[in-house]
Each structure stands twice: as structure tokens, then as C-alpha cells.
Structure 1
């Protein structure tokens, strides 16, 4: 809802009279942007918005910063923002990149290197509410790396172009009039309205995009070296200013790449002398210990090492149409329509090896750090027969996100004291497959001549050494495939109304109602073929198109990539060539028809066969707020209010049942899928949320503030789903599963803020603020051991016990499996399919009646104890007189009580994600012809996840800084040439686990240059 108000409502003291012209002009500059930003929102806006009086045309960097200062100074509560210099000239091509310049705001970067989600004051993306012109937008369509939605509530800024955005407003304090959901901040993204500008605006912009990351891909993956970006806007008024029409649109295409070294299956952590799967061997009674610096406490081992190259092609179309009608100055109607299409296609190639935990005497020996969680800096896996499979994987990914929003708004000024506003909108979003093979498809090609492998973790880049491995096409064979179709859809229906009544010059009452219904759906069909034993035989794939590239050349920016120990080759295959050959081999080896073979290597979007989660969330709200101005020697303002919020959650689920289990390789158990199972659960909660904001002008240029308020943050969609989803794969220790709980309570944050601001010159100020958030009902996880009736595992069964007795009490799985095949071949559940070169018998061993039930560790969300988030924000901005030079910067300190304990390996933890320090420094120069801006953005290390590929383990993103620059040159009054230079320092992003040596990923992208022009008609 829009709440027009100013921090000065009455005072006619000399100070107030001196301030009025500046405040008026700056407020107009803020809300009109560059002659087209609204004086009044045509839809509900976040609380505290000032009211423009008339339109003033402003342009340039300095005017933009002046307007942002006025936003901060004149609103009640703590508000920061960014205002466009001109329509079509927002500071960055990505809104998230712009927002990181605001104190307390940090960004999470997508694999492409672009900012996509925001963290505010240590509160993660799921708990920051993003509004478009005051309206809650669908958010459940963020794609993960495997395609489809990840269940997050975080808004993905990559779906919106910045070309038609006029301002971003970040409200950091809770207000009763503010929608709930943003315990970190409520962000309002504002677009243009024609009746606010009252003049004709027409402009067209064209840019050429040069992406350096694209040039770092192999030739087969490279896209266009130059891609286009086009944007335009037309806005005008008709019929004596009573009718307004605005149309804006943008089209952009980007071909980019990201190169990543990582471990997909994470790091397994153990206590010394434990005998779990993946542990190091016991110290021998005699002879040399194969482990150097053998751990005496906690230690970790990695499961695999991978090098991945991804080519990304993104095509984004944004558009908005606005029609306004004002039959009188007291009544205005607005109808608007917004669309956003974001299409992503990817190609992926990967070289990897599964270590199989085959530690033993070797050169070099496995060597550990001293702890507190000992980590191998050298880890050698033994494959002396040179017949292990070096994995050469390839994938094709594709999804398309569509957002549509239709809204209607009415503003009615009954008289000078009484005003009403009504707003309704219907918004939808969906993410669907955009590839003939589904959202995510990968095929696993095995090169079966790998020998001993050594992983070195002694520098930033992980080094994988294969001293005896060479490419031999006759050793290639398909060893598995996965084709997945994912669907995500969300609908938001919202109605909001409010009225305000000015009782007298010092008092105003505001009250409102809101109703919101959100429907969220996530569905998936997974066609996973665990053909680890191979499809056909080696030698049948020699004609598949393959190439050999130089591995070190793809990671030149990451320290250590030039190490001579690194395996020099990166092998790739053509996906379509392998799929075509696999279809032929499957038909010949298993006697299936072509239609069956085609279906075997595809994923039809038939979600009736897979998991389908549907959640409906209905919320009703009411609020009342009192605004009071004190007519005292020290001008003060007070806003106090209450908000009532009631929500009901209904979650219906369809999950795939599991009917049996088979032991298919030494460390893999697969489960057979059965019919789908349905379930439904409900939950509800209600809260009364108070808020109070106070400010005082201690001097004409000094303001202090204090705020206290409650807000809630709703659990993620994945946490609310009903039903239990058991994974399709397991190992000797059992399987995994997950289930949600729609009765979860939202996070409740009690917020306290203090700040002081000194506005010592036009556009110049110093500010310092402290914040404290007491957050309860954190959503953590707990593990419960469950079994499925009738689903037994052969591991520990009669066949297994016989093999264990024959092989010795501590025998390896290889010996036990070979014994079972040699002695029980043809018995129920024992199917032999072949023998590999090293003598390992291939086949499946199914669980039988009387065998142990397969156990699953099922992860369940739960509300955990609360804790605090606290910190300081320091801001400074200075204009060097009329020289054209200026500088601004900020630093945020953020701390949380809930930290991750790296030495806790037994229980899931409720540590808070995203808490870190951050800093920004921006310098600029501007005159009538030139405008130059340079920005450095930095974020300290933070906890990015509590789960890696191995389970409940931390993932830390290391400190990262980036330098960006923009240069503008004006020709005449209508034509501007523009250059945007992004990631000039060519930074890379690194993540690690419980120790810095435990590499999770190291990702390299590249610089990006956009060169273009904008013409105003």
C-alpha cells in the first residue's frame, strides 16, 4: 500500500523553511527519476514513501545520488535506495548488482557470475520480501543447477531487466503498513507511470555485449562473441492530461560460460578409528603406515574430483504496458500488465573420477593436515589394474521462465484529509523444460583404463593427477544416464486497500486490509538409468565423436591451475552422437525396439509418474497506524502501529513409492520405483506485529532515529511440502529421504534500530547505524531413521553373510559380491551380467524376504531455538563542490549468535546462512559531456549452505571482491554513448567445507563489456 508522508508535517521554524525547497525538489527527483518515475504509485508501495508535488526533469549521476539521499533523509524508519539517472539508464544491467551498493545488502552470485539473490543484514534471500510497485510477485521459479525450481522464496533478479526500472527502495525497519515476509528488508522495485511525468518520453537503447567467459570455453561450446541488448520506452499523456499511456520493453541475449573445479558428492567426516564406509584403513601392525600424519580426532575424506565446463545461452524479454485515466485531480485509475520471459539453455562437459576410498600403500601417500578437522592435502586412490572408469560426462539443460502480472489500482482523494486506495493483481510464473530431453539431461561415458589417481588440495585450485591414464577410444562405454523434466508454477492473487485520515496538522491515522493467496507447485519426472555396469561393451562406442582439450587452459585465473602435477587433458564427446550410438547399442544388446530405446534416453513431461507437490498459502491481514509530529523546539516524528497477520497452509503431495532394492555395484544400491502415493497436510498461524518509529532533527543537518518492530519470515516451499520422498539411490549404509511440515511456524524477528545522520552538504552526508534482531523459530532439520515395509537390502542378508564368512570378517565389498555371484548365481535375486577386465563380476543382487529392511535417514524440517543478529552500518557520501567529482562508500559489520560448529558431525545445525561483513566504494566524475563511475564491491566469507553432496556438512563461500566501471559520453542533448565494464578484476569464486583445504568448488567466469548508445526522441 502507498503511505504518503513526510518527516516534516507542520513545523514552520526557520530550519523547516530552509529545508522545504531542498526536500521538495529531492523528493520529486526521487519519485520522478529522470522525468518518468511516479509521484504516486499506481499500486501499493512499501511504507514510508514520500509524496511528490509536481514533475521536475532531473538527469545525471549527481541528481540520482541526491534523490537517494532525500529518500533516506525524509522517510520515517531506515530507508535506502537507488534512483535511475534517466529512464533506461539504471546504474547496472542487473538489479542485484546495483543493490549490493546499499549498506547492509550483499548478493549471492549465480554460476554465471551475475548477482541473482540478496542477503540483507545477515538475513538470507528467502527472508527478504521483494515487491514490484508494492505488489508481492511470484518467486518460486528459481532454477537450480539441475533445472527446475528449488523451493526457495528468494526473488531471482535475473528475470527482470533494469532498463525500465526507475528506483529501488530498501526498507530495513518493520512497519505495520508493510507486507510481511521481509525480516531482513522489504525491497520495492518501481517502474514508470505516464500521469506522473505528464510529458512525452521516448527513447531507444542498443548495446553490444562482449562476454569474456564465452571465450574461455572449448570451441564446440562457444556462443556468439557479440550478443545484442535492445530496450525502449514510450510514455505520453492525452486528453488534457487525463489519459496516460506507457509502453516499455527490452530484449537481451547473453552467451557466457563458467568453468568449475569441484566435488559433487562432498566430504565425509569421521572420528578416528571409525569403520564406516569411506574411512581410511586401520594402521598396520607392522611396516610403514600408508597414512602420513594419521588423524587422531575428526578427519574428512573427499569422494570425487570433477572439472566442469558449462556454456550458457540466456535470452530475456521484458515488457510493461500502463494505461492511466484521471477524470479529475482527485480520482485516478491505473491498469498495468507486466511480462518477463527468461530462457536458459546450457551445455555441460565434465571430467571426473570416483575415488572409491581405496586408500593404501602408494606414492605419494595420503597425507593429512593437523586439524581440528584433519583434511587430506594429498589423497591417493589405488586402481593398480588400470581399469577404473574415468568419467567423461556431458549434459544438455534447458528451462524457460515466464512471469505474467495484471494489476488494477484506484486512488481516490475524497477531500484534503481523507484518501483511499484500492489495488488488486493476478500474477503467475512458471518454469518448464526448454530442451527436447527435459530440463536436465546427462550421459555418463566411462573410459575404462584409469590407474592410480592422486588429488592435491594444497592450493586454491584442486590438482588431479593421473600419471598412467591415456585416451583409448576402445575403452569407452556408456555407464549411466539421467533425463529429468521439472515443472515449477506459482500464482499470486492479491487485494489490498487502505485509507488515511488527517485528523489535524500533527496527526494522521491510516488503516488497511489485505488478502493474498499463493499457489505453489513443484513437479518432477526423473528417468535415471543406473547402468554402472555399462550398456553393451567396450569397443562399441569407438565411433562416438570425441575431442581432447587442454585442461589447465580453462582455469587460468585460479592460482595453482598451472601446476605440472595436473592431468593435462580434458576429454569431451558430442551429446547427440553418444545418444544416437547408445540407442543402437541398447537395441542390439537388450533386444528392445527403437521406440523403447528412444524413451530410455529421454524424459517426457508426464508428471503423473513422478513427484508432484502443491501448496496453497492463504493470508489475511489488517493494520492500523498513527503518525504524529511534535511541534516542539526539536522537531520530532512518531509512527506507531499494529499489524495482524493470519495464514493457513494446505499442502498436497504425490510421491513415487519404492518397492525393492538391489545391490548393483560395490558402493551402490538402487531402488525400484512403484506407483505414486498421495498425502495431504495442513497448518496455520496468526501473529500480532507491533511497530514504532521515532526520529528527531537535533540540528538543521543532524537527524537521529530509533525503531522497534516485529516481522515474520515464512518457511521455504520445500519445508512445507507433505509426503515423504525416498531417494532412488542408496549405499551400504542405507538411503536418504525428505519430508516437509506445513505446520511449521514462520521465523519471528524482533528488531531494534538506532541511527545518526549528518547531512553536511548538498548530496553529502555521514551516517552510522546499529541494528539488533532477535529471531526465533529458525527452521532447522532433524534426521529420523525410517524403513519401507517389504523393501529389504541384501547387504547384511543371507547371501552377504555367507560371503563375509568366506572372505574374512572385514572383507571388502568386491570379494563378497564375487563370492555371491560364484556361489549363488541363478538363485532368487542374483543376476550376473558380465565380468570386467580386472575380474570383478558385474550384475545385481536384490534384497530377499528375510533380509534386513533398508534404512533411510529422512530429513525433516523443524522450528529450532532462536538467536540474534546484530551489526553496524557506516555510510558516507561526499560531493567535491561543483568539480563534478564525488565518492560514496559503506561498510557493514554483521554477526549472528547461531554459528556453524565445524567439529559437530552428529546432528544437523540451525546456523544462519549468509551472515558476513560487506563493503562498497564508488567514485564518479560528471560534467555536461562525460559521466564516469567506478565501483568496488566486497563481501567477506559466509556460510552458504548446511548441506554438501555428502549430507550435513557446511559450505562456505570465501571472500570475494569485484570492480565495475561505466563510462558515458553525451553527443548533443539526445544521444549518449555508453560503456559498461563488469568484473574488471576477473575474480573467481571459491567455496570450502569444514577446512579451507576441503574444496567444494572453484568457479571462473570472466570480464564482460557492454558498449552501446541511447537516443531520446
Structure 2
């Protein structure tokens, strides 16, 4: 519903064909209006006039805007599109960043780039992405802390040069594949028959990301595409290749918090109650009914990354007769990312603390301090982490379109696509090695600035800047794997009727076989007190393996310059960073942190499979009418889907537990077991689109539809999973449910549009969604497999095993974990192994909170308004596009309730806006664009997660040296907008990320 212009220029339009509702290679691609929209956009190197003959059609921005208005006005249903300006030239280098220009579309960014798309408040898991109308296999490896489960599509995997158009179906339609409550987003790739003859382009640019720590690397982006037709335009071939490399940094403060407690609660980790001597150290303590959250850990991460993306396409088209067209296409993408993260961090034991708080009813921390005795040898952690993953996507499709006599068109379309994400390192996809300096006297986090200020003091003789004091500690090597394979067959028919109310009919059936595998394992060494042991001698022996030359002193304040708090004199000034592979090679032979042979990728302990088989027939009619000389159109149809689900899982079998520290325990496993479950569901999905033009230049629209979104794979997977790490309060786990039915939404769309000029319009839209079948989690408190623990707390009651209690009796109630462990090791042979206390059968059983997903009776209403205006300022060359989306829901999170109260809330809802000013005249194009997204609820578990309001400026310009040669420059996030998030209170800052502009310059040749 908008058209953005300049370089890069966006011409957003809607499908004008009432008969071509399915966004596939046989429908929209062959629609004359859509083909024109793809091939007549500004190239960015033109003089603003039309070309003729066999040359590529070139128009200026204003003509492109006029074309987009024509497409929008003639459309039926709510369908927005962004088209390539020319072959191989999409408006933005990142597809998600192009989509955010559309009214109602906002994005999530990762490492400074657009990654996921939210439409009308519904996040990436609620939006289906197709490729040329075919369901596209997707894979995301996740954060590395658990097995991947998401259906979301990562738009960073695909290069924009290989995209002809992005089509966003906001309203449901029978002929459009199901799966997106928010939208169905179709990625349409170019075809040689889009425009006959030889055409192509070559583009090269250099990119400098100014976020790089201490570097100014300029990295390349190159692409080339060529298309030609032969044999009297009966045969067409298209080839495309692109390569992109980017170097970046993403420095971030991260703070973890405990659950939300009421001021009246007395739990481990809560504030000291009245009567406790520590209560005198609390300023403005939360009242009994106030909710608050205390910090658990905090750190600064200095992150350096590299991403490489390779894309390729090959298309062969053959038209043996005027009525028969065959197309075979192959799309390939590979995206590799390598991130090195060095961090300094602290961890709270919630002993001798002092703090200050804001006023309730949701109290936030002003500061939180803890003091430690000299004998506690509290640690300051220096860690090195590495994220290294590769995602590979392959899609092979075939299409046969026959235009039969009598206005009938038949289509056979087949598709095989795979997506695979896996580690790209011998150490796994997400791994970390810890070191520490022991001897912290006190530590503090201050929350009065955008950047939480972490500070500490050490005891005399302990210098954290002396590398000789660094001791290796724990480590974790995580191995995640995700693969999605889709085999799909579609048979479609279309009938054009001449005259009368009936304009055309569409019908078809689609069969989809979706097979998903998600696997995970972790090799974790919980020696956080010191690799090899936590005695002074053991720590010294381990530290001797790490030469001082291995460590590099890294400053902190300059990594966060511009964020308030970075200049605080109390902030951690520096820490030691190091190379993870180098430390692993030194420690593994002696301490076998990778098995002693460097084999960090252990076999999968969690291996889940989900298979969905869906058959979906549909029927749709398209009518046109006139009432009192007022023209109108109506499209009505229904789609029926039946899906069978098979879910199986190989999961580890728990055998016991161990205690690693005062509040850290691990489950021990022995072997694995396989389980399998089945489920099924059916859906009827009706839809109707209606529009009239009561007066010239004014169009009114109304749509009603049912749409669905399927549950994530983790909710469907069979098998019980236990989180390896648990606390003194017990453990957590989950079990899937393959009988879950999809989320279902009943949608209403209304819009009014006034086209008051050839290139100017105003539109107002309203949407309403009533969503049911929300997936909730029912919780069962139970013991699993008889797992015990040396000490555990449940419902506020602490139970100690006989050995643990004997140690407390001998040492006193304030004994440290190290003292208790040493006592047990001395008096109970076999009770301590590798510095951890091994649980025994006569210890108290551990309570586990097991979550099982189910379709709740909760429903949610989401509605909103979309406003857009496009205006050209006569013949000055200047123009503007403005849009604003308001999204509201009736299910909000109540921050005043503690974590113990279950809540249901809809995430992702937020207002968004775009403002663009462009210029196009005499071969010069320029654009200034601002994108805004209001803060929103990103997660709604036992604690809410909020993302702060974000606003980014982008600029670009291009100049046509000749008709076929142009140069361009581009700036992304030129206002250096930073990102942040929080929990219940704005003072509960969870992260603050420093971001800087990214610039590029290059040239493009077309022929």
C-alpha cells in the first residue's frame, strides 16, 4: 500500500488480477499487470523517460509511482508488493529491510541487519513464506541452548539481487497456501520469459560497517544476472550468482534477573525480610504487594562477527507451443556466520546484599550490591564464546502451464526444497570457555543509565589486570542441527468466463509432505570453581597451562561510547580477552574438556522428528457487477485442509544428579530412549473479498477470511525433555503434543482509498483478527526417574540429604559450598567427583516443573488502522511517502503480577511508521527514509520481555552516468540508533546493544 522511491527505490503495488490469486509461477508471474510492474520500474540510472524497441523498459520514479497506484487501485483483496526496479536490482540489499517499508510490516534485527518480519503485530512464526507460490523449507539453528524448533524464515539467507518481487498477502484467500495468520509472503524470482531477449546486470559495491571494533574493513558484495531467450523466444535461460561478505561488531551489555517476587515473599534470592540484619541495607524496599526482580548476573560482551552469503539461481523455460509453457528452476543459498564473543561478567549469590529501588507497584532496581568474604574466593569471569553456523537452502521446482481451449488454464507444479542448519566449527555451533580471577570483595550493577554500569573491587593482592591470576574454569560445547524437507505437488485450474456476473473460476488441490529433524547435544564441564579443582594448588596448576601472552587487555567504555553510563568512572574499565580454540588446545590434553582428543561434537542426545502430510483442495469464484453504474468485484472461495502429524523423539535417560555450586545442579544421563506419537486435524478456510468504486478515484474494500498458523515444532515433538541445569528450587522440563491444532484467526479488513492525482493518493485501512486455539502450557509438579539432590527447596521448605545435613551440623549454617563439599569428600568416600557432590538415593527427591502444551480456550482480539499517503510535489522532482500503523490487542501482560501467577498475552503488537522523502530528476536520485517501531512485548512467559522503541534513518543516492552505467552510495542506520530491552520495570534492563552506521558505495551496469 505504498511506493517508495529514490535509490534504492521501492514501488509497492497490489496484484491487479482477480483471477490470479495464487502467488505462483503460473499465476501472478503470468499476470500482465504484475509482469509490467516488475519490468518497468526505474533502474536508478535512467533519465526519467521511456525507452523503446528491444531495450529494457526504463521509467523514472514518478512514472513508477503512477504504475504502482494503478496496480493498487485495480487490486482485489489486501495484497502489497515490492518489485525489483530492474533485473538484479532490488530496492534494499536486505529483503527484510525492504519489507519494513510496507504499511503494517515491521522487522526484528540481528547484528545490525533485518532478519525476521512481523505483520500487523504477528511475529515471524505467524507468517508463512513461499517461493514462487510454493511452500519453502526453512531452518534456524537458534541460540544454541536447546534444540531448534522454529518455523520462522530468516530473510538474511537470500540476496535481494535474485528477487523480482515480494508479495505480502494480508487477507486470506482460498487459492493462497495456508499457514500465516499475519500474512503470506511470497518471494517471486525472475524468469527469462518476464521479458524476451538478452538482458542482465553486473553490480559491485564495497561495504564498511563502522561498528567494527578497532577496524575499518571494507568488504565486497558482487552479483551478476543474465537472461536470454532463443529459438524465436521459445527457450529461455536465466543464471544468477551473488556473493556478500560483511564484518561487524555488536557490543552488548546483558543482565539476567530472577523471577518477579512480591515484596511479602521470602524465597532464595528475594530481598531480606524485616528482622533480617541485611534489611537495613535496602533503600525504599518494595511494599508487600509490589512486584520486583533482583539481578542474577551481568556482563559486557565484546562481539566481532563475519557473515558470508552465497546465492545462485538457474531457470530454464520452454514454450513449444503458444499454449504450453514449461519451467524448471533451482534456487540455492548458503549463509555462514562466525561470531567471536569475549565477555567479563559477575554472578550473584544473594548473600550479604544492599540495594535501592524505585517506587511500586512495579519496583525496579536502582543498584544492587553484594559483598563477599575473603574465604569465599568469589570470581570475576572472563569468557570466550564462539557462534559458528551454516545454513543451506535448496529449492528445485517444475511447472507446466497449459492454456487449453475455451478459456481454461491447467497447471501442474512440483517442488522439492530443503533447508539445513548446522555447526560450522569443530567445536559446535555455540560454545564457550570460561576463565576467572578469584578474590572479588564486592560487586555492583547500577541501573540509572541506558547502559547498566557494572563495577567491582578485589581484595588486596588480587589484580584482575594481572594475567597470571587468570584460572580456567567451566566450558560448554553445543551441537545443534535442524533440517526441513518439503515435497509438494499442486494441480490448479482456471476458467475465464465471458460476460455476466461470473468473471472466472479457480480450483485446485495441493499435497505437501513436510519432514523436520531437530537434534541437539551439549558437552558441558561444570568446573566453574576451577578446571581440575578449586583449591589454591589446583587452580595454580591449571593457570600455569595458559601463558600470559594468550590474553589481550580489552577496554570497555569505548565499546559503548554514546550510551549513557559508558563514561561512568565506576564502570569496568578493561578485561582480558582470549582466543577460544587456543585455550581448548591447551586444556584438552590435560583436563579432557573435549574428551582429550579434541572431539567436542558429541553424539546427539536429543533427536526429534516431525512429519506433516497435508492435502488441501480449494475452490474460488471471481465475480464482477454494476449497481446504479457503480462497478464492483467479489471473490469468494473455500479451502479445506486435512493434516496428519507423526512426532518421534530420541531423548536422554536421566540417571542421577550432581551439585556444582551453591545454586547450580546438573542432571546426569545414561543412554537414550525413543518415543513416537501421532495426531491429526482438519480446517475449513473460507474467504471473500469485495470492492466498489462509488465515485471516480475513490475505492472501498471489504474482506473476510479464516487463516491458520501451525504450532512450532517443539510443541509438537514427542518425548520428554529435561533441562540439564537445575537450581536448588528444582528443575524444569517439557513434553510435546502432536495433537495440537493450529491457531485460527477470523479476519475482517476494510479500506478506503482516494486517488487525487496521477501519482498521489491517501488510504485508510482497518483490520480485526479474532484468534483462537492459542497454545498454553499446563504445568505438572513431579519427580522424574527418582532423581535426588544433596539439598533442595520446594514450596519454601528446604530439605537436606543426610551427608549435606551432617556437613552443616559440623561446619555451621553459614558454611560455604566449598567447605560443605570438602567435608563430604573427606567423610563420605565417593561422594565427591571432579569437584562436584554426587547425589545419592537417600537424598531428597527433586521436584520438576514439567510443561505440556495444549490448545487453551483463550482467545485474543487484535485490531488496528493503517494510514498511508503518497504525494509528488508537481514537477520539482521531490516526493514523499508517509504511513503509520496502529495495532491494539485485548490481551496484555500485567507487570504488577508476580511470576507465580500465570498470564496469557499476545506478543509482538506495536505501532510502526515510515517517512520517506525522495528526489528524482535529471538522472539524480536520492532518498531519506525513517523507520519507526514502538516498544513491544516480545515474550510472555513467567516474566515479560520488552523491546525498546526503535527508530532508524537510512539514506541513499544514485547518479546515471549513462543510460546503462550508474553509481550509488547508501547509508544504513546513519543516526546510530541503539537497541535495548527490559523486563517488568524499565530499570530491569536485560540488554543494551551498541549499533553504528553501515555505508556502501558501488556501481551497476545493465544491458
Does residue 128 (structure 1) correspond to residue 117 (structure 2)? The answer is no
Deviation at 1:532, TM superposition (A): 2.0
Q: Output the CA distance in 1 between the equivalents of 2:59 and 2:602.
A: 50
Deviation at 1:95, TM superposition (A): 0.5
Give the secondary structure class of the aligned counterpart of 1:451.
strand
Deviates more, 1:87-96 or 1:767-776: 87-96
Matches within 5 A, 1:720-731: 720-731=716-727
Deviation at 1:819, TM superposition (A): 4.9
Give the secondary structure class of the aligned counterpart of 2:891.
coil
In the other structure, the counterpart of 1:32 is 39
Select which of 132, 139, 142 maps to 2:140.
Answer: 142
Q: Is the 8 A contact 2:661 2:817 kept in 1?
A: no
Superposed CA RMSD: 2.3
Q: Output the CA distance in 2 between the equivalents of 1:946 and 1:679.
A: 30
Q: Output the CA distance in 2 between the equivalents of 1:634 and 1:287.
A: 78
Q: Output the CA distance in 2 between the equivalents of 1:730 and 1:285.
A: 27
Q: Output the CA distance in 1 between the equivalents of 2:766 and 2:953.
A: 28
Matches within 5 A, 1:987-998: 987-998=977-988
Select which of 985, 996, 1003 maps to 1:1006.
Answer: 996
Deviation at 1:634, TM superposition (A): 0.3
In the other structure, the counterpart of 2:601 is 604
Could you list the runs of 4 or more consecutive aligned residues of structure 1 that deviate by over 6 angstroms after TM superposition?
A: 285-288
In the other structure, the counterpart of 2:117 is 118
Select which of 241, 248, 253 maps to 1:249.
Answer: 241
Select which of 395, 398, 412 maps to 1:408.
Answer: 398
Deviation at 1:539, TM superposition (A): 3.1
Deviation at 1:928, TM superposition (A): 3.3
Does residue 626 (structure 1) correspond to residue 631 (structure 2)? The answer is no
Give the secondary structure class of the aligned counterpart of 2:396.
strand
Q: Is the 8 A contact 1:68 1:81 kept in 2?
A: no
Matches within 5 A, 1:225-624: 225-263=217-255, 265-284=256-275, 289-296=280-287, 297=289, 298-360=291-353, 365-385=354-374, 387-468=377-458, 470-505=464-499, 506-507=501-502, 508-536=504-532, 537-540=538-541, 541=543, 543-544=547-548, 545-586=550-591, 596-599=595-598, 602-604=599-601, 606-607=603-604, 610-624=605-619
Deviation at 1:34, TM superposition (A): 4.7
Does residue 692 (structure 1) correspond to residue 688 (structure 2)? The answer is yes
Q: Is the 8 A contact 1:55 1:198 kept in 2?
A: no
Does residue 801 (structure 1) correspond to residue 805 (structure 2)? The answer is yes
Give the secondary structure class of the aligned counterpart of 1:303.
strand
In the other structure, the counterpart of 2:762 is 766
Q: Output the CA distance in 2 between the equivalents of 1:287 and 1:182.
A: 53
Residues 1:63 and 1:114: Cα distance change in structure 2 (over 3 Å): farther
Q: Output the CA distance in 2 between the equivalents of 1:127 and 1:108.
A: 14
Q: Is the 8 A contact 1:449 1:470 kept in 2?
A: no
Q: Is the 8 A contact 2:789 2:843 kept in 1?
A: yes
Q: Output the CA distance in 1 between the equivalents of 2:565 and 2:73.
A: 49
Give the secondary structure class of the aligned counterpart of 1:597.
coil
Deviation at 1:584, TM superposition (A): 4.7
Q: Is the 8 A contact 2:244 2:310 kept in 1?
A: yes
Matches within 5 A, 1:952-991: 952-991=942-981
In the other structure, the counterpart of 2:66 is 66
Residues 1:971 and 1:35: Cα distance change in structure 2 (over 3 Å): closer
Deviates more, 1:501-510 or 1:479-488: 501-510
Q: Output the CA distance in 1 between the equivalents of 2:489 and 2:59.
A: 35
In the other structure, the counterpart of 2:937 is 943
Give the secondary structure class of the aligned counterpart of 1:853.
coil
Does residue 898 (structure 1) correspond to residue 878 (structure 2)? The answer is no
Deviation at 1:823, TM superposition (A): 6.5
Q: Output the CA distance in 2 between the equivalents of 1:527 and 1:6.
A: 56
Q: Output the CA distance in 1 between the equivalents of 2:971 and 2:817.
A: 60
Q: Output the CA distance in 2 between the equivalents of 1:978 and 1:431.
A: 34
Select which of 833, 852, 858 maps to 1:860.
Answer: 852
Unaligned runs of 5+ residues in structure 1 are 10-23, 37-53, 834-842
In the other structure, the counterpart of 1:873 is 866
Residues 1:405 and 1:212: Cα distance change in structure 2 (over 3 Å): same
Deviation at 1:33, TM superposition (A): 4.9
Q: Output the CA distance in 1 between the equivalents of 2:32 and 2:616.
A: 35
Q: Is the 8 A contact 1:339 1:405 kept in 2?
A: yes
In the other structure, the counterpart of 1:48 is none
Q: Is the 8 A contact 1:433 1:439 kept in 2?
A: yes
Residues 1:1016 and 1:328: Cα distance change in structure 2 (over 3 Å): same
Give the secondary structure class of the aligned counterpart of 2:265.
coil
Deviation at 1:962, TM superposition (A): 0.3
Residues 1:720 and 1:944: Cα distance change in structure 2 (over 3 Å): same
Give the secondary structure class of the aligned counterpart of 1:289.
helix
Deviates more, 1:142-151 or 1:661-670: 142-151
Q: Is the 8 A contact 2:38 2:84 kept in 1?
A: no
Deviation at 1:574, TM superposition (A): 2.5
Residues 1:288 and 1:164: Cα distance change in structure 2 (over 3 Å): closer
Q: Output the CA distance in 2 between the equivalents of 1:1005 and 1:664.
A: 37
Q: Output the CA distance in 1 between the equivalents of 2:306 and 2:613.
A: 37
Select which of 889, 907, 929 maps to 1:913.
Answer: 907
Residues 1:677 and 1:978: Cα distance change in structure 2 (over 3 Å): same
Residues 1:819 and 1:885: Cα distance change in structure 2 (over 3 Å): closer
CA offset digits 1:538-567 (Å, max 9, x no partner): 334251411212211000122221112212
Q: Output the CA distance in 2 between the equivalents of 1:454 and 1:33.
A: 61
In the other structure, the counterpart of 1:57 is 57
Q: Is the 8 A contact 1:783 1:860 kept in 2?
A: yes
In the other structure, the counterpart of 2:9 is none
Q: Output the CA distance in 2 between the equivalents of 1:892 and 1:664.
A: 50
In the other structure, the counterpart of 1:101 is 101
Deviation at 1:276, TM superposition (A): 1.7
Q: Is the 8 A contact 1:430 1:489 kept in 2?
A: yes
In the other structure, the counterpart of 2:197 is 199
Q: Output the CA distance in 2 between the equivalents of 1:62 and 1:776.
A: 44
Q: Output the CA distance in 2 between the equivalents of 1:955 and 1:326.
A: 54
Residues 1:807 and 1:375: Cα distance change in structure 2 (over 3 Å): farther
Q: Output the CA distance in 1 between the equivalents of 2:188 and 2:688.
A: 25
- TM-score normalized by the length of structure 2: 0.90
In the other structure, the counterpart of 1:17 is none
Q: Output the CA distance in 1 between the equivalents of 2:64 and 2:540.
A: 66
Deviation at 1:873, TM superposition (A): 0.4
Deviates more, 1:410-419 or 1:202-211: 410-419
Give the secondary structure class of the aligned counterpart of 2:352.
coil
Deviation at 1:308, TM superposition (A): 0.6
Deviation at 1:737, TM superposition (A): 1.1
Select which of 875, 891, 898 maps to 1:882.
Answer: 875
Deviation at 1:31, TM superposition (A): 3.9
Q: Is the 8 A contact 1:693 1:705 kept in 2?
A: yes
In the other structure, the counterpart of 2:710 is 714
Q: Output the CA distance in 1 between the equivalents of 2:682 and 2:279.
A: 66
Residues 1:341 and 1:286: Cα distance change in structure 2 (over 3 Å): closer
